[in-house]
């Protein structure tokens, strides 16, 4: 496929004049409560540009909440969130809209627009949000469909595709916005087992061939081991352990991590 259709994240030249990879995402002292349930408790962490970071941890530990905060689907009760040097929280609505353009997300449920063709699903936001011409958006979409192995499905409707194919369209749709950050939340959990590998292969390919920053929640530990620069182990809304995948998966420090991994591996 032509390389110009691969995601080319725009870097912030003021922040990063030498083009060296700096910090792209920073959460500082982020607290999120639902009623009196404190889901994230003064959480601090950062992700450098171009890195692939995987969040693991038991159900209810706050992994999806972090991704939802970054997507501005939720607001923290306390703390600050910064993306590419610009504050996402607290921030004005205008600033939030600007920063949001840097972030793409793929969920467990693909949420494609059922009444639109595959091609239109991918071109819609680049045209309406980024202001691309229809031709530019179509060219970009076709390149991405090629990347996810669905070049022949432009005119299909989502209901005519398998779950794995729909999820690959959802990945192409997120990449069409050329986000700097791709958030992935258990993107293979809703798929039949035989469709999982195809989607993970596409993500491996994206991790290898682009410099997009990935923040990924997954129970696919082999995939996490392959693509991650860093793994963060969550428990009760805190990072209890972090390190390279080799370290976390083969020689974790904490019993809690060991116990969690033995339950999922
Ligand atoms: N909209 C909401 N309203 C109330 N409580 C919520 C809401 N969203 C999440 N929670 C609670 O926040 C906690 C963390 O949820 P979150 O979805 O972040 O967990 P998770 O680590 O992604 O879990 P899983 O592995 O099951 O997806 C849970 O206790 C959950 O019940
Ligand atoms: Mg979750």
Name, in order, each residue with C-beta under 8 angstroms of 49's C-beta and a sequence gap of 6 or more.
Answer: 9, 11, 16, 21, 22, 23, 24, 84, 180, 211, 213
Residue with CA nearest ligand 1 atom 9: 65
Ligand nearest to the CA of 185: 2
C-alpha 204 to ligand 2 mean position (Å) = 21
Q: Considering all CA atoms of the chain, what is the largest pairwise distance in Å, rounded to the nearest integer?
A: 55
User: And the tokens for 94?
Assistant: 């205008």
28 - beta bridge partners?
80
Ligand in nearest proximity to the CA of 55 = 1
103-142 confidence digits (pLDDT tens): 999 999 889 999 999 999 999 999 999 999 999 999 999 9
Distance 60 CA to ligand 1 centre (A): 5
Tokens encoding 57: 């941890």
Q: Which H or E run includes 105?
A: strand 103-106
pLDDT digits (tens, 9 = 90+) for 147-178: 999 999 999 999 999 999 999 999 999 999 99
The secondary structure of residue 10, as a DSSP letter, is P
Nearest CA to ligand 1 atom 22: 64
62 alpha carbon, closest ligand: 1
* pLDDT tens-digit series, residues 210-239: 999 999 999 999 999 999 999 999 999 999
What 3-state class would DSSP assign to 213?
strand
Rounded to the nearest angstrom, the distance between the alpha carbon of 63 and the centre of ligand 2 is: 6
Per the structure block, which two tokens stand in for 58?
Answer: 């038991």
Asked if the bond preceding 201 is cis, omega within 30° of 0, the reply is no
Backbone angles phi, psi at 228, to 5 degrees: -85, 140
For residues 159 and 62, what is the distance between their CA atoms, to the nearest angstrom?
32
Our answer on whether the CB atom of 178 is closer than 6 Å to any ligand 1 atom is no
Query: What's the whole-model pTM score?
Result: 0.92
Res 5 pLDDT > 90: no
Q: Ligand 1 center to residue 12 CA distance, Å?
A: 33
Residue nearest to atom 1 of ligand 1 (CA): 34
The pLDDT of residue 52? 98
CA dihedral angle for residue 177, residue 178, residue 181, residue 184, rounded to 10 degrees: 60
Cβ-Cβ contacts under 8 Å for 94 (sequence gap 6 or more): none
């Amino acid at each position: 496929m032509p390389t110009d259709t691969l995601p080319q994240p725009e870097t912030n030249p003021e922040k990063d004049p030498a083009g060296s990879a700096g910090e792209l995402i920073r959460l500082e002292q982020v607290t999120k409560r639902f009623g009196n349930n404190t889901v994230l408790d003064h959480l601090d962490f950062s992700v450098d540009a171009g890195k692939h970071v995987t969040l693991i941890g038991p159900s209810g530990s706050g992994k999806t909440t972090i991704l939802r905060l970054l997507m501005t689907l939720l607001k923290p009760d306390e703390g600050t969130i910064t993306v590419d040097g610009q504050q996402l929280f607290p921030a004005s609505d205008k600033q939030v809209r600007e920063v949001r353009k840097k972030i793409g997300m793929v969920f467990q449920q693909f949420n494609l627009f059922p009444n639109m063709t595959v091609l239109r699903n991918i071109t819609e936001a680049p045209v309406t949000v980024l202001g691309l011409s229809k031709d530019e958006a179509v060219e970009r979409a076709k390149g991405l469909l090629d990347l996810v192995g669905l070049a022949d499905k432009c005119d299909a409707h989502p209901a005519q595709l398998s779950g794995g194919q729909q999820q690959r369209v959802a990945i192409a749709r997120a990449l069409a916005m050329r986000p700097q950050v791709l958030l992935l939340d258990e993107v293979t959990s809703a798929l039949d087992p035989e469709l999982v590998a195809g989607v993970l292969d596409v993500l491996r390919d994206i991790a290898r061939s682009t410099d997009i920053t990935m923040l990924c929640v997954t129970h696919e530990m082999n995939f996490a081991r392959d693509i991650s620069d860093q793994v963060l182990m969550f428990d009760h809304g805190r990072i209890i352990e972090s390190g390279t995948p080799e370290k976390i998966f083969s020689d974790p420090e904490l019993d809690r991590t060991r116990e969690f991994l033995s339950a999922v591996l």
